[in-house]
Amino acid sequence: MKCTEFLCFLICLVDAIGSRVEAKNVAVNYPGIQFSKDGKLSITVFSDLHFGEPEQAQGRRDADIKTIGVMNNVLDSEHPNMVVLNGDLVSCEWVAPENLNSLIDQIVAPLIERNLPIAATFGNHDASKTCSTRLMSEYMWTIKGTNGKKLSFTTSSVPGEPDQVGTSNYFVPVYSSSDGSKLAMLLWFFDSRGGRIYQPSGIDIPVDDWVDDAVVAWFRQTNDQLREQVGHDIPSLAFVHIPVHATLSFQQNGGRTGTNEPGLNEEEVGNQGDVCDSNGDHCNYNGADTPFMKALIDIGVMAVFSGHDHGIDWCMKWSKNLANDPANGNGINLCFNRHSGYGGYTDWKRGARQIVIEEDKLGKNELETWIRLEDGRISGHVTLNSTYGADHYPSVDKSKTFVS
Ligand SMILES: *[C@@H]1O[C@H](CO)[C@@H](O)[C@H](O)[C@H]1NC(C)=O
């Protein structure tokens, strides 16, 4: 994106929120969130909520009501500072265009009630011939909390058609607890696309399932601009619905163990760049997420969080000794979310990923994360620090895996 477009986008966004843009330091005055007074930032990540499925889809009754129960239980346990909806909010292949907004209303009701800032990424089920992720994001943009404040950060910072670049590509700045104008961290959101082209009266046309190269260029350029403004690397997290291929390499090469990377490992990773046959089986990897993986490594995000694979929720350290994939990792962490919704395939126990970052540990590149289960228990609590991957943790027992 050209600099002028970047500035214009910021100004429009800030205008929409009603804040003021300073002539200098535009990017660091971008509306964002702030570490709370105790110096922490707590994020709840719901993934694969799959609202809007009829009973015939999975043979489950009242799926959406149960999913709202999951959201309320998790939020009551965690009291996060913000919520990420990490893709597949809706099973849009079942949803008529005129019914989409009422489903969004249901999804965000628990968040509005608690005045929680919301940042979404879109998944392959959010884009169907009947659902436009652009319309979804525009509708979410109007959502206000009970305090009258705008809650959604979800926007499209990379120009282009949704099927070419995706919709949910943007960042949210996180400011210091002690100084609301000091940029402490960045949260990056990416659209891994997939799904179908939006054309309500047309046929199903599949969309590529990886982060587009134009988005990767925007990511690098925007990060460089922000870095230049603050004068140093900015710690960051990334959220993208479909995981990168390095996770499948790790799983297939036997890199993952139940005590070093505790969590659900109930299926084979489905990753970006999968080209599948018409039934969605027999997928082949085409390497198209390589530029995105290289950018994640070069920029050195602390961790990348993905959903998509309902039965996986471990975190891995993408280290140098993982043979495969571009340049190997450089120690960044890649995490799965687990299934939060009662819609969508299979019946592993529902939960949501929690992320807690302490502002004064940002320099150490360290964060705490776990899965909060629907029943209130915690599963797979790990510290993503320099020794993660070598540290031993209790493995996750079956009672936290399957619905009993
Ligand atoms: C990382 O965290 C684990 C779990 O809390 C701990 O056992 C380990 O010593 C930590 N490593 C470092 C380098 O602090």
pLDDT digits (tens, 9 = 90+) for 236-292: 999 999 999 999 999 998 789 999 999 999 999 999 999 887 776 788 999 999 999
d(CA 232, CA 222): 14
Ligand 1 pocket test: pick from 391, 392, 393 the residue with the most ligand atoms within 8 Å of its Cβ.
391
d(CA 182, CA 240): 26
Atom of ligand 1 nearest to the CA of 388: 1
Whole-number Å distance, alpha carbon 359 to ligand 1 midpoint, is 18
Percent of the chain with pLDDT over 90: 82
For the chain, the residue count is: 404
Token pair for residue 232? 């140093």
Atom of ligand 1 nearest to the CA of 385: 1
At residue 308 the predicted structure's pLDDT band, cuts being 50, 70 and 90, is very high
Residue 30's pLDDT is what? 60
Whole-number Å distance, alpha carbon 386 to ligand 1 midpoint, is 8
Measuring from atom 7 of ligand 1, which residue has the nearest CA?
391
Measuring from atom 14 of ligand 1, which residue has the nearest CA?
385
Average pLDDT score over residue span 340-360: 96
Token pair for residue 321? 């000794």
Phi, psi of 42 (to 5 degrees): -115, 125
Average pLDDT score over residue span 366-391: 97
Token pair for residue 318? 């993408």
Write the single-letter amino acid at 245.
H
Residue 324's pLDDT is what? 54
DSSP secondary structure letter of residue 137: H
Residue 323's pLDDT is what? 54
Whole-number Å distance, alpha carbon 82 to ligand 1 midpoint, is 26
Please check the confidence at residue 167 and state whether its pLDDT lies above 80. yes
Whole-number Å distance, alpha carbon 95 to ligand 1 midpoint, is 46
d(CA 118, CA 112): 9
Whole-number Å distance, alpha carbon 54 to ligand 1 midpoint, is 45
The per-residue pLDDT for range 136-147, each reduced to its tens digit, is 999 999 999 999
Please list every protein residue whose CB sits less than 6 Å from any atom of ligand 1: 383, 385-387, 391
26 vs 218, residue with greater confidence: 218
Please check the confidence at residue 8 and state whether its pLDDT lies above 90. no
Atom of ligand 1 nearest to the CA of 393: 4
Atom of ligand 1 nearest to the CA of 386: 13
For residue 41, what are the β-bridge partners?
A: 357
Residue 321's pLDDT is what? 58
Whole-number Å distance, alpha carbon 325 to ligand 1 midpoint, is 27
Average pLDDT score over residue span 342-347: 94
Measuring from atom 4 of ligand 1, which residue has the nearest CA?
383
Percent of the chain with pLDDT over 70: 90
Residue 404's pLDDT is what? 60
Residues near 151 by beta carbon (within 8 Å), at least 6 away in sequence: 108, 111, 112, 115, 116, 117, 118, 143, 144, 145
Measuring from atom 2 of ligand 1, which residue has the nearest CA?
383
d(CA 319, CA 333): 9
Please, how many CA atoms are within 13 Å of residue 152, restricted to the half-sphere of its CB? Answer: 22
Average pLDDT score over residue span 202-207: 93
- CA 277 to chain centroid, in Å, comes to 26
d(CA 307, CA 240): 8
Ligand 1 pocket test: pick from 333, 387, 392, 393 the residue with the most ligand atoms within 8 Å of its Cβ.
387
> Which structural domains are found in the chain, ordered by start?
31-400 (3.60.21.10)
Whole-number Å distance, alpha carbon 385 to ligand 1 midpoint, is 6
Residue 125's pLDDT is what? 97
Whole-number Å distance, alpha carbon 391 to ligand 1 midpoint, is 7
Evaluate whether 48 touches 307 at the Cβ level (below 8 Å). yes
Query: Shortest CA distance to 340 belongs to which of 69, 18, 60?
Result: 69
Token pair for residue 61? 């009754």
Residues near 391 by beta carbon (within 8 Å), at least 6 away in sequence: 260, 382, 383, 385
Whole-number Å distance, alpha carbon 388 to ligand 1 midpoint, is 7
Atom of ligand 1 nearest to the CA of 383: 2
Whole-number Å distance, alpha carbon 389 to ligand 1 midpoint, is 10
